[in-house]
Amino acid sequence: MVRVAESRWFAVSVVVLAIIAIWYWFTIQLNMPWQQSVYARAGEENVPFWQLLDDLFSQQRPVLPAPHQVAVEFWNSVVNANPSTPRSLIFHAWITLSATGLGFLFGTVLGIVLAVLIVHNRAMDRSLMPWVIASQTIPILAIAPMIVVVLNSVGLTGLIPKALISTYLSFFPVVVGMVKGFRSPEAIHLDLMHTYNASGAQVFWKLRWPSAVPYLFASMKVGVAASLVGAIVGELPTGAAGGLGSRLLAGSYYGQTTQIWAALLMAAALSATLIFAIAAVERLTGRLMGARA
């Protein structure tokens, strides 16, 4: 019994069940006013409880769709829809994923390059860091349409503008993490390199870089989630070109709340998958670098 209670799956299941129960409670509370106004207009009174529940869970445009409604919508748009058509969530998820991946790649590389400059150059440290921080205080929703419009006018459309917005969000955690990582070697490790008369490049590749690897993975996990948000936000102003963002936008135009929630579920699943993938690479790297099992 204790074993069961301590197992991870047990803990996760309890939390999921609790969330679903709360969700159902909110579904009933939030959809009730509309349902009551429907009954009032139809002159129906003393609706039986089961009838009421059934009506609450089958509204066309619920304020909050019930979990099983979202699940059905998710199933229909993932499994029952042809992945090559815009009716499929897989179709949209792939578009978003490719922008996320490209943006994340750009962002990670940019973040590492900036961190290297900041760590190795005092002037860069002073001048670059404030800009890096300032860049993140600008609301991404405000700047995303500008980027799309500006890039459009120079002939860049489709994937690249979205990827760049995603880069804009994802480079930041990488810069901050890697600056800390490159500065993480202990003083005696650096002194040791000094006694060998090692060059700057040798110190970087043999000491700073391996020391920073754990920081890199931590930043990448934050960065990849930010990348996904960036890609979705980037899809909002690009019109109906596809992607989870445009799916969300279309859903909100037409009051398709169930569709919105299904797309959100997909986005969450996507970002969880990406983070687990990075964690897997992290474990593998750790093993190659002699981490304790």
CB 190 within 8 A of CB 203: yes
Residue 233: what residue type?
Answer: V
User: Which residues contact other proteins (rule: CB under 8 A)?
Assistant: 186, 188-189, 191-198, 202, 206-207, 210, 213, 289-290, 292
Nearer of residues 94 and 209 to other proteins, judged by Cβ: 209
Q: Please, what is the minimum distance in Å from the beta carbon of residue 211 to other proteins?
A: 8
Neighbours of 159 (CB within 10 A): 18
State the nearest-atom distance from the C-beta of 206 to other proteins, in Å. Answer: 7
When the beta carbons of 5 and 188 are compared against other proteins, the nearer one is: 188
Q: Is 123 or 188 the residue whose CB approaches other proteins more closely? A: 188
Q: How far is the CB of 177 from other proteins (least distance, A)?
A: 18
Q: How far is the CB of 151 from other proteins (least distance, A)?
A: 41
Q: In this structure, are residues 172 and 138 in contact, taking their beta carbons and an 8 Å threshold?
A: no
CA-CA-CA-CA torsion for 27, 33, 34, 36, nearest 10 degrees? Answer: 110
CB nearer to other proteins: give 53 or 190.
190
Which lies closer to other proteins via its Cβ, residue 67 or residue 183?
Answer: 183
Q: Which is nearer to other proteins, 130 or 290 (CB)?
A: 290
Residue with tokens 């869970």: 57
How far, in Å, CA of 262 to CA of 76, rounded? 10
Nearest distance from C-beta of residue 208 to other proteins, angstroms: 11
Q: Quote the DSSP letter at residue 197.
A: T
CA distance 293 to 277: 19
Helices 244-253, 209-235: crossing angle, 10 deg rounding: 30
Taking the complex as a whole, the smallest distance from the CB of residue 284 to other proteins amounts, in Å, to 14
